[in-house]
Structure 1
């Protein structure tokens, strides 16, 4: 991780008090937009609304990219790449930012202003359970990818990879997103192995957790559907587990 403000540690993205997880996660502004040289394909405007459907899993500020079909951020059965691993373990958007900046096929992207907590807000955080992101991209961007950390997991994330954008003005499409396990860290479900907001955003109280990935619990696996919370550590399944889907996205072309 660097100190240039781009690659973000667990603590910088996931503030210990859990009240402002998005301060360094690029607000609601565009994360990156590629060249305006779109060969005559005029910009199209989209509104993406992301809603947390779980009863006890907070999400990091959601990240959305609009791109050409050649882009693949994650896939079940494959090893997690660095951007996916860093989001799933640390809530760290830095490697994803680098991917966006280096990949011309990603035409636009944006990140949310704050974490998304469950609708009932069990930790009394006052944080939202849904957010709207606004993006513009040329007509070559035909697909959307979404990813966000499942905060109260070791290496879980919720996401969609390369789903079609609506193609007509004033049209919309709804997608349901499931939770995935990155296969990069054992699911100890211990607060000491999780980011501090895993406790504070749901149970409140003093933060407990770590700022760093622990090589002693590293795992050399592949991305799979998340098995959920099993109660093997500090996370009561009655509080932290969820039924799929974990999120719903409404994608509108304006």
Structure 2
């Protein structure tokens, strides 16, 4: 099937396939094939780091504007909870022939869902893509409560998740052995919500790839 070269009208649905993880505000962008939001095996940009560690879309949205991408930002109006879906419309301009989708995964230190440069088909129809969890490689996966600012240890814990996350964990690790974007190894967690090594529940905050399903309707 030939790639798209002209403008398109897309309906995009993102479904959280996990049973215990949440996604921060989602960013879907259509852009030219020579650009990308992230590259597996390469160091994360500062903009990707801000999204993966704290859920901020500002930097990536700014990059999108610079490269004249078409963006669908935060279609869920906040967190996308386990098992839930959200849908939005995206009109693409001529030349913006690939689709990328990102959002931070909570609770993690720097995990994110990532669809990279998926070629938008020319033929009208419904297309489904399954999306994996990636690790930005910018922060040690200590799995403890903390801040969401880049370079700040710990995981951000927004109010909807406050009661589900433990406290006083000592930290699973203090180092990151892979400082490039790579498939996330998953949370370790423990069963102690008042101490232990992790503030993540080992019976709740785990997953297997894929973590998201993206359904694209080309109208």
Fold equivalence (TM over 0.5): yes
In the alignment, which residue of structure 2 is the partner of 1:3?
none
**Which of 60, 82, 95 is the matching residue for 1:140?**
95
SS of structure 1 residue aligned to 2:33: coil
User: Does the Cα contact within 8 Å between 2:7 and 2:96 map onto a contact in 1?
Assistant: no
In the alignment, which residue of structure 1 is the partner of 2:182?
224
Alignment of structure 1 residues 7-86 onto 2, 5 Å: 43-86=7-50
SS of structure 1 residue aligned to 2:156: coil
Change in Cα spacing, 1:101 to 1:233, as seen in structure 2 (3 Å) is same
In the alignment, which residue of structure 2 is the partner of 1:174?
128
User: Does the Cα contact within 8 Å between 2:6 and 2:95 map onto a contact in 1?
Assistant: no
User: Does the Cα contact within 8 Å between 1:177 and 1:247 map onto a contact in 2?
Assistant: yes
SS of structure 2 residue aligned to 1:141: coil
User: Does the Cα contact within 8 Å between 1:43 and 1:138 map onto a contact in 2?
Assistant: yes
In the alignment, which residue of structure 2 is the partner of 1:186?
140
1:204 and 2:163 correspond: yes
Q: CA deviation at 1:237?
A: 2.1
Structure 1 residue ranges, 4+ long, deviating more than 6 angstroms after superposition: 205-209
When the two structures are aligned, how many residues end up with a matched partner?
A: 193
Gaps of 5+ in 1: 1-40, 120-128, 210-216
SS of structure 1 residue aligned to 2:15: strand
Structure 1 vs Structure 2 CA RMSD: 2.2
Cα deviation digits, residues 147-205 of structure 1 (max 9, x gap): 00002000110110001112123x121100000110100000012321122xx534637
Q: TM-score, normalized by length of structure 2?
A: 0.81
1:109 and 2:71 correspond: yes
